[in-house]
Structure 1
Amino acid sequence: MFCCPQPLIFFLLAAAAAPRRPCGPLGLSQDTVLGRPGANITLRCWDEGPGNVTVSWRAEERGRSQRLPAGNALPLHRLRHEDAGTYSCFVGSHRLRSLRLLVQEPPETPRVSCYRRSHDHDVLCEWPLRAKPSPGTRAMLWVKQRFTAENATEQRCRFFSKAQKFVCRVKVPRGTEDTKPFLVSTCVSNGAGSAAGEDKIITLNGVLRPDPPLNVTVTALEKAPQRLRVNWSYPLSWDHRFYWLRFQVRYRPEPALTFSEVDQVTTTWLDIHDAWRGLRHVVQVRAQEEFGHGAWSEWSQEAVGAPWTDPKDLNSDMGFFSSQFPMEDGTYGLTLPPELFAEDGADGTGGPIMEASARSTASPYAFLVAGGSLVLGIALCIGIVLRCRQLWRMGGWRGAKPEGEGQHVLVPLGSPSPPLSDTPLLSPPCSPAPGGLHVTSLDYFFSGQ
């Protein structure tokens, strides 16, 4: 037969025997009248009395007195919260009765969430409201260790009108184990009713939720058109000398609606390597306890930055429109100007898409090579023209020989010429011997002799 250990039985019995905190409406005195906002109500000075007596009414609210219509019955229509106060009836100067009017509606059921900003902060439990609570509404919170018979600690909750929520602070004694479970109960009540929230079981580790990171900045990296550097700092409520955080970064170019995310960042900076050229990017960061305990913080405020752009590509007359598409190596293609995507003109005729505007980015060495080639070509043409004119003047161009006349055969004179490698390309000018040939002159080949 299975037998439970005695300490476990004790804890279970103690937990089962622990009564739940009562949560009921606030007690109302005999002279208190409750009315709902927007309802009609009638106040009576007495139930039975002489009919010939004139009864007057006065409303006393915050030290002010206001006269009201006379009569034993005082009707009030469409009650507002401002109508709450003390109403007194008089006969002459004698006060007969005072009634306290409460204009309230039952409170909303609390839906509590608890969190802790760091390991050395108290636990905060809060819940939002759809509407401002009625004056006099009271909110309470009880905390006790689970499976123990000790009494629960009681905390009064405070309403913050700007945030439209109740907030309760639970003090954590030093040395409390982070994994020990606690039972949290809530109750909201006023004269019109009460509402109890569901009991919650929490641990100190489980409710960790840091504040969002601070000082998020986005800067460009020089000569890196697809990179961005993101920096941030720890929230002031988190002591990073003893406990660390891990971060998540999300970013998107401004035309896009979806974010890209980077997880498991343990530093306070990140380099983005796939930014879109020429576009502003929106970046946000959030934090969580380094071992994954608790929940992520809220996202930080948005920070905006654009990658580095080559000054040669900047044009003051037109902006940049990114039409980049991912390549196989993970990079992006060309950035095109917005004129390529312009719509037709307003008159429907279709205006010009883009004006011809380009700037040469060629290297200066290319200009030197092209210019030198052009000069050499012009010089060669001029030399050929001058040589042709010289031959024309010397009568070099003559008619063809009569048919049947034999051709002269050139016979070399003197010793054989040296090899080509020993012969200078240009022979020095000299006076030819009588009857000799101008070997170095081209006139022979054009004279027909």
Structure 2
Amino acid sequence: IADEAGAARSLLQILTLSSGLSQDTVLARPGANITLRCWDQAPANITVSWRAEHRGRRQRLPSGNALPLHCLRPDDSGTYGCFVGSRRLRSLRLLVQDPPEPPRVSCSRRSHDHDVLCEWALREKPAPGTRAMLWVKQRFTAGNATEQRCRFFSKALKFVCRVKVPHGADDTKPFLVSACVSNGAGSAAGEDKIITLNGVLRPDPPLNVTVTALEGAPQRLRVNWSYPSSWDHRFYWLRFQVRYRPEPAHTFSEVDQVTTTWLDIHDAWRGLRHVVQVRAQEEFGHGAWSEWSREAVGTPWTGRRGGRVALSLGFPMEDGTYGLTLPPELFVEDDAGGTGGEEEALGGQWGSTSPYPFLAVGGSLLLAIALCIGIVLRYRQLWRRGGWGGAKPEGEGQHGLVALGSPQPLLHDPPCSSGHGGLHVTSLDYFFSGQ
């Protein structure tokens, strides 16, 4: 271990020597006061003038062998020349900057098929000419270390170093990682880190997260998502974590150990929009969780859209049943909320509805009227004879009992005939008895 740490320190020394300053370079910290001199011992009868050249601009400065500069800023960096007439005597390069920040390296790997990326963020943009290197060595082996040049990304304000992973490398073997940064003002080395390829796994967030309502279920939501494109799910799987909350709330409910790419939420709040996010981790728990996905929103089923509620009216039908089902579109509520536009919504629906429901209603009414007329005709004679449920007049419709031993036919010729043949029904009043 001591040898490995010494190798990292030697790399830092190489970087420091390679960025050494020349004799004509003056280094100063921001806010410092310095004095530039053209000669160590200037002749008394010579007048020296100064010119500053930085960022393509030339600026005349006060004359004299010594040039005092106060409260330096990074913009004061540049070349300062001293002249006697038009002859340049000396050029001094002023560098106003701070030493680099010590790197705090973190490494990650998007999947088993990708290289390792080591990076660290900066508080401010580094000085021009700042260089960063990453030193990687497999631990407990006699092999040589590898050096990786790191790139600075100004938008993200961080250095990123890519570590090539050899094909067939053991994901459980440790590696020693060190980062070194140098500029004109000095150098800095970060702390050594020990990593494994499995330990630095960190997938990208899941993609295409959607939230949909389930018809007829006012407290359920269906969440779907897909694997990140950087993860090959044919050979390696992920497990997921889902969190959700209704929009008025600030705390999330979480569901762990999800191995599918969908989830049904069973305790959603009725009628409220929910915010849902998903993140992923390697299926066996190696490495870290991904960042949370982008927020997706959805509202549970409310019954206003998609549900069909029919209205039945009790009109007699031709087959003897009662009822008429009207389409639910005739009774749609105004989505704007409130009852102010309810009549207008109904009017618009009736105006554009097919005429068949009206024909059905009219036919049912005509059938009901015909049925009522039939009932009136059916019981008209009974009403004329004394009302509903009254006794018959004496002797009317009364018949004697026929003995069992001598059955009598119901149809016979009367004893006194008027000369006309025919059949006489003796119990005709049965059909008008109402029983």
Structure 2 length-normalised TM: 0.69
Query: Which letter does structure 1 place at the counterpart of 2:129?
Result: G
Q: 1:36 maps to what in 2? A: 29
Q: 1:201 maps to what in 2? A: 194
Correspondent of 2:264 among 255, 266, 271: 271
Q: 1:154 maps to what in 2? A: 147
Cα contact 1:14–1:149 (8 A) shared by 2: no
**Identity in percent:** 78
The SS at the match of 2:302 is coil
CA distance in 2, matches of 1:64, 1:237: 48
1:20 partnered with 2:20:
no
Deviation at 1:318?
A: 6.3
Deviation at 1:199?
A: 0.5
CA distance in 1, matches of 2:152, 2:82: 35
The Cα RMSD (Å) is 3.8
Query: Which letter does structure 2 place at the counterpart of 1:41?
Result: I
The SS at the match of 1:183 is strand
The SS at the match of 1:66 is strand
Cα contact 2:8–2:178 (8 A) shared by 1: no
Cα contact 2:51–2:82 (8 A) shared by 1: yes
Structure 1 length-normalised TM: 0.67
Deviation at 1:187?
A: 1.5
Q: 2:221 maps to what in 1? A: 228
Deviation at 1:310?
A: 0.8
Deviation at 1:120?
A: 1.1
Cα contact 2:150–2:160 (8 A) shared by 1: yes
Query: Which letter does structure 1 place at the counterpart of 2:259?
Result: T
With over 3 angstroms needed to count, the CA separation of the structure-2 counterparts of 1:48 and 1:291, relative to structure 1, is same
CA distance in 2, matches of 1:56, 1:206: 62
Q: 2:137 maps to what in 1? A: 144
CA distance in 2, matches of 1:74, 1:141: 41
Deviation at 1:293?
A: 0.8
Query: What do the CA deviations read for 1:242-288 (whole angstroms, capped 9, x no partner)?
Result: 22111111111111111111111122222222211111111111111
Query: Which letter does structure 2 place at the counterpart of 1:156?
Result: R
Q: 1:102 maps to what in 2? A: 95
Query: Which letter does structure 2 place at the counterpart of 1:260?
Result: S
CA distance in 2, matches of 1:13, 1:194: 21
Query: What do the CA deviations read for 1:28-57 (whole angstroms, capped 9, x no partner)?
Result: 111111111222222111122123322121
Equivalent residues in 2 for 1:33-182, closer than 5 Å: 33-182=26-175
CA distance in 1, matches of 2:266, 2:50: 78
Query: Which letter does structure 2 place at the counterpart of 1:278?
Result: G
Q: 2:322 maps to what in 1? A: none
With over 3 angstroms needed to count, the CA separation of the structure-2 counterparts of 1:428 and 1:19, relative to structure 1, is closer
With over 3 angstroms needed to count, the CA separation of the structure-2 counterparts of 1:77 and 1:96, relative to structure 1, is same
Deviation at 1:13?
A: 8.3
Deviation at 1:428?
A: 8.0
Q: 2:349 maps to what in 1? A: none
Deviation at 1:210?
A: 0.7
Query: Which letter does structure 1 place at the counterpart of 2:63?
Result: A
Q: 1:241 maps to what in 2? A: 234
CA distance in 1, matches of 2:336, 2:8: 75
Q: 1:329 maps to what in 2? A: none
Cα contact 1:14–1:147 (8 A) shared by 2: no
Cα contact 1:15–1:148 (8 A) shared by 2: no
With over 3 angstroms needed to count, the CA separation of the structure-2 counterparts of 1:20 and 1:302, relative to structure 1, is same
Q: 2:409 maps to what in 1? A: none
With over 3 angstroms needed to count, the CA separation of the structure-2 counterparts of 1:417 and 1:275, relative to structure 1, is farther
Correspondent of 2:250 among 257, 267, 275: 257
Deviation at 1:230?
A: 1.3
Deviation at 1:192?
A: 2.2
Which 5+ residue runs of structure 2 have no aligned equivalent? 308-331, 343-363, 388-397, 403-426
The SS at the match of 1:23 is helix
The SS at the match of 2:194 is strand
CA distance in 2, matches of 1:301, 1:43: 56
Cα contact 1:15–1:149 (8 A) shared by 2: no
Cα contact 2:8–2:135 (8 A) shared by 1: no
Correspondent of 2:206 among 194, 199, 213: 213
Deviation at 1:184?
A: 0.4
Deviation at 1:65?
A: 3.2
Query: Which letter does structure 2 place at the counterpart of 1:67?
Result: R
CA distance in 2, matches of 1:77, 1:70: 16
CA distance in 2, matches of 1:72, 1:13: 52
> Could you list the runs of 4 or more consecutive aligned residues of structure 1 that deviate by over 4 angstroms after TM superposition?
12-19, 312-315, 414-418, 426-429
Query: Which letter does structure 2 place at the counterpart of 1:23?
Result: L
The SS at the match of 1:21 is helix
CA distance in 1, matches of 2:99, 2:29: 9
37-46 or 157-166, which deviates more: 37-46
Which 5+ residue runs of structure 1 have no aligned equivalent? 1-11, 320-338, 340-353, 358-367, 392-413, 419-423, 430-439, 441-449
The SS at the match of 1:154 is strand
